[in-house]
Amino acid sequence: MIRILANDGIADNGKQLLEEAGFAVDTTKIPQAELMTRLNDYDAIIVRSATKVRKDLIDASPNLKAILRGGVGIDNIDHEYAESKGIPTYNTPAASSQAVAELVFGHFFALSRFLHRSNRELTSADGDFNKLKKAYAGGQQLRGRTLAVIGFGRIGIAIGRIALGLGMKVLPVDPYKTKETVKLDFADGRSVDFDFDMVTLDEAISQADYITVNVPGGDLIGAEEIARMKDGVIIANTSRGGVINEDALLEALNSGKVAGAGLDVFVGEPNPRRDLLEHPRVSATPHIGAATEEAQDNIGVELFEKIRDHFGKQ
């Protein structure tokens, strides 16, 4: 029987599908330090962000036949080395796109209408209703604004679809494509196609009122890029910590160059820097982009399909 370690968990539907197909699924969390001696007892491992599958762990686990990531990014896996050893890495790129896209707009709405601050301050013991009503009366609407979507893959397209529905202008940036079509579906069964040409990063960030970053990693936005943005821009990062330089972002928040930042990811996870978390212009969440029941169920199904197809070929 094929044994699978879901070390960072798996949705109940995915576990059930795997077990019904004859796989043994262990959801007991094994600490990272103990995996070196215990992972070899399994044929496959499922991880999310917490567990790291590096070269030394791969070398210590010759029985390992597949590595799976419940999510999009695979930067916590030495996937190229694993591939060189004949161990493929699979992820679930389609499952959580809508969940992440909706979180982006959760941050945009919070920052545009000061929800992150007024909720906390109004419910505090010394919250002054009339004072806060005046202080937070200067919000802005998203309709008619320009959104730069940096990274126009599945998540970026889902974000673009919501933006179109809100009446925003979308500027997509993606070095791997030149054009893309976004389908906007309506409840009455109608659908409309929107055709986009990709624009350069400089063009997008210099025109945008809102910016969302959806890339697998890297050092993409620093002080120079922020300087070319509009004054009062609002930024969201739900991709990877470090994609936006945190020092440069903090400086821009302090000066007001950046009016708000919605951050779901941080360099120092699980202990992000306090000066960002506590900044009044920051709406922060603890890396929950894919953390909806629907997304987790979708991930469970995708993981099952990847494992079934992989071991079905053995």
Report the b/e string of 143-172 with b at 16+ CB within 10 A: eebbbbbbbbbbbbbbbbbbbbebebebbb
Tokens of 204: 């997008």
Which one from 19, 80, 83, 269 is the annotated catalytic residue?
269
Closest CA to 299 of 72, 76, 19: 72
96: nearest Cα among 243, 289, 264, 262: 289
Q: Is 293 a catalytic residue?
A: no
Catalytic residue among 107, 116, 154, 287: 287
Instruction: Please state, as a whole number, how many other Cβ atoms lie within 10 Å of the Cβ of residue 116.
Output: 21
How many residues comprise the chain?
Answer: 314
Q: Which of 154, 240, 279, 281 is catalytic?
A: 240
User: In the annotation, is 287 catalytic?
Assistant: yes
Q: Is position 308 annotated as part of the catalytic site?
A: no
CA pseudo-torsion sign 94, 99, 103, 106: positive
Backbone φ, ψ for residue 46 (5° rounding) = -110, 130
For residues 290 and 11, the answer to whether their CB atoms sit within 8 Å is: no
- Phi and psi torsions of 244, nearest 5°: -105, 125
- Positions annotated as catalytic residues are 240, 269, 287
